[in-house]
Structure 1
Amino acid sequence: MSIRVTSAGMAEQGIAVMQAQMQALSKVQTQLATGQRFQRAGEDPVAAGQSLNIEKALADIGRWKSNIGSANDRLSLEETTLASSVATLDRVRQLALQANSDTLSDSDRASIAKEMKERLSELVAQANTRDGQGVYLFSGSRSDSRPFERTAGGVRYQGDTLSASLPIGSNRNVALSDNGQDVFMTLASGDGRLTVGAGTANKGLASVQDVHFTDASQWDGGRYRVRIDDGQYSVLDANDGVVAGGRYESQVAIQFRGASITLVGEPSDGDEFTLGPSRQQDVFSTVQNLVDLVSSGGRSPAQRTQDQTRMFDALKSLDTAIDHLGNVRGGVGARLNAIEDAEAQLDTRSTQLQERLAGLREADYIETAARLSQTETALQAAQQSYLKVQGLSLFDYMK
């Protein structure tokens, strides 16, 4: 079988070779000019697909980091607000202790009560704090609604118990704030476990000095009365059943059902003191109770002694509120630490992905420059071969 070689066929083949080399040269030149290995996905489908996946991952990281910025701003503001609220309650406590002195007159206490009322207004304002976008911190999901409103009966919460959150990573969310119900409203009275009181009919000069658990496992959660008669005390349950009794001594603990209550001073016959489990009480009521105690004037010695027990319980409630707000603030700090850690992880991951993306898309200048030289040489060789072949004829072979 013979193969027919024509001049036209040789020319076409030479042109095809030169076109291929010129296309290769153009591609290498573009790589050097742009610094990119490919301009279209079809040039390297595998690398292009991997690049798209990495770009999506980087976009997710960018969105999460933006959310982290927003969460950091909100949580930092909440932490600052809670710190201010704790400082306000600390000042209320100082004022209450100052007013509890027997050396002060009713007018002195009235002046102290006036500042305490201002601190209560300050506390309400702090609970109604808004961020830079005008969104209330403690209204739950009702972020556009003022969460706390003062009424004749106290302070009312108008938000809900939900909390907004933002994603800060794959399957990782952070709460932007705490709702006002949990922060300011659902606190416990007394020391958080027990609360005490003095009978309004008490005529003696005895008041509660201390109360605590000796063995919480024995406590049944009931309400009890400690009654003093003829120098003896009796502890009565809700059905007036006697659960403990003995000789009364000032500053000597009376213990029953795993609880301990200590009275100081001399009671009168029939005087009673109550002890029971803590009840729910909002922080505003706690402060208002102290304001009312400090504001009361014209009290008899027996009434002032009753007030000492009420002051004892109110200060315990205030300490419980301070501890509660401190715990909430601690939770906010933990979330701030968590988003800081999440941001560091995202930064590391972003760097890794960017390096991987660069490896897929960016051209190696040294390797590309070498290929440019090789491609130019190949093109020149193809051109010279074409010219040489074009100059030949059949008569050159017949000589």
Structure 2
Amino acid sequence: MRISSIEQFQQGIDSILDQQARLNRTQQQLATGKNLLSPSDDPAAAAQLLTLSSLKARNEQYDRNAAGAQNELELQESVLASSGNVLQRVRELVIQANNAAQSNESRAAIGDEINNLADELLQLANTKSASGEDIFSGYNSRTPAFTRTGTGFEFGGDQGQRLLQVSEDTQLSVRDSGQDIFEGMTVGDGRFLLQSPATNTGSALLKMSSTTDAIPDDYTVTFSQAAPGDPVLYSVVGAQGGAIATGTYESGAAITFKGITLEVEGTVENGDSYGVAQSARQNIFQSVQAIADLLLSPTNTSGAASKRTNDLGQAIGTLDQGLEHLQGRRTIVGNRLQTLENRIEKNIDEQLRLERQVSEIQDLDFAEAVSRLNLQSTALQAAQQAYVKIQGLSLFTFLR
């Protein structure tokens, strides 16, 4: 087989250029620390890297969402804790005020403090996030959740819940409607509320309790006395059930009906009546404000004083319902924070797994690359030396 000098020279140059290209690629790999420099190096691996990169970006977004969710939930939990502290302070003041040793003036001072606590509670309900949004207004996050009006307190938000995706299969509610939180509690003992009309002239003090299986209805307990010196009788009538019970009143004796017990002490007058109504929902601001208004109003008769005592006793029950409700909401938020913490740990593990897979495909084995660089450098030198020798084998050089 005949090989021309030009072909020999070209093969030598091609060999040198090929070795230089291989050496250059290895140098670039060492400089970048990457095994794949372009998709053409390994199309299948490049496609896998694109998929892993997309999964990592999505996981990083979940991490950002989780951080935002944690901030929102911790803020909400802090507000609920502060609101509970306010209610606990109101409860302590009510117990202090519901003491016969207090005067109208001292009760008015307590009422003034409770009035300020109602304002503090309203401010807590209108807490804003770092972005300036009202956290309890639902989707109407640029509107205050609650406002004070001439007739009470109004909710200005909606029932919207803010949700954040913290993993592929987990969405967490990070904001709740203030209507559920601050208007979700019931009055009285949670089942019934004792009502003492202002028209009563007696000075009886009442305590009410009910069982969980008490029959729901609106009851009226009426006392009557045919003539002075005659026994005082009572009758219990239900709005739906009609006549329920009758009997002779004895101070300190319990009146029991339909799962409800009334402990009555003191003097009742002919025509005095008390209502036992089914508990209704009332926003906590209105409940606290009603207590303040009651204490700011002086009482000058025994009938008014007993009504105040009875109403304050019911107010304690209402506050207990509010505290229990807020604690329940705190528990819900705490459970979400626990779920979020577990989800964050899983996201970290998932991110590490993805980074490990990317590293296995893309990262360079430096020991192997350095060894290969040495071999390729030697191969290039050999190709260059071979070319120099072949270049000197020309016939013209021999004849010369």
Uncovered stretches (5+) of structure 1, i.e. residues with no partner: none
Asked whether the 8 Å contact 2:195–2:277 carries over to 1, the reply is no
TM-score scaled to structure 2, two decimals?
Answer: 0.90
Asked whether the 8 Å contact 1:198–1:207 carries over to 2, the reply is no
Match of 2:185 in 1: 187
Asked whether the 8 Å contact 1:131–1:137 carries over to 2, the reply is yes
Match of 2:28 in 1: 30
Asked whether the 8 Å contact 2:217–2:240 carries over to 1, the reply is no
Deviations 1:236-278 (A, max 9, x none): 1116722233443444443332333333334334332222321
- The reply on whether 1:228 has 2:219 as its aligned counterpart is no
Shift, 1:128, TM fit: 1.2
- SS for the counterpart of 1:205 is coil
Cα gap change, 1:381 to 1:222, in 2 (>3 Å): same
- The reply on whether 1:256 has 2:251 as its aligned counterpart is no
How many aligned residue pairs are there? 391
Match of 1:95 in 2: 93
Match of 2:69 in 1: 71
Asked whether the 8 Å contact 1:228–1:234 carries over to 2, the reply is yes
Uncovered stretches (5+) of structure 2, i.e. residues with no partner: 225-230
CA distance in 2, matches of 1:255, 1:11: 118
Give the root-mean-square deviation of aligned CA atoms.
Answer: 2.3
Shift, 1:394, TM fit: 7.9
| Identical positions, percent | 33
Shift, 1:282, TM fit: 0.7
CA distance in 2, matches of 1:365, 1:307: 85
In the TM superposition, 1:245-394 aligns within 5 A as 245-392=246-393
In the TM superposition, 1:34-183 aligns within 5 A as 34-183=32-181
Shift, 1:345, TM fit: 1.6
Asked whether the 8 Å contact 2:197–2:274 carries over to 1, the reply is yes
Deviations 1:84-137 (A, max 9, x none): 111111111111111111111111111111111111111111111112222212
Deviations 1:178-215 (A, max 9, x none): 211111123211122222212433333323213121x5
CA distance in 2, matches of 1:20, 1:167: 52
Cα gap change, 1:157 to 1:379, in 2 (>3 Å): same
Deviations 1:363-382 (A, max 9, x none): 11101111112222222333
Shift, 1:26, TM fit: 0.9
Shift, 1:55, TM fit: 1.8
Cα gap change, 1:18 to 1:88, in 2 (>3 Å): same
Asked whether the 8 Å contact 2:299–2:305 carries over to 1, the reply is no
Asked whether the 8 Å contact 1:224–1:274 carries over to 2, the reply is yes
Shift, 1:393, TM fit: 6.0
Cα gap change, 1:50 to 1:240, in 2 (>3 Å): closer
In the TM superposition, 1:196-211 aligns within 5 A as 196-211=194-209
Shift, 1:301, TM fit: 0.8
Q: Which amino acid aligns with 1:356?
A: Q
- SS for the counterpart of 2:204 is strand
Asked whether the 8 Å contact 1:232–1:247 carries over to 2, the reply is yes
Asked whether the 8 Å contact 1:100–1:294 carries over to 2, the reply is no
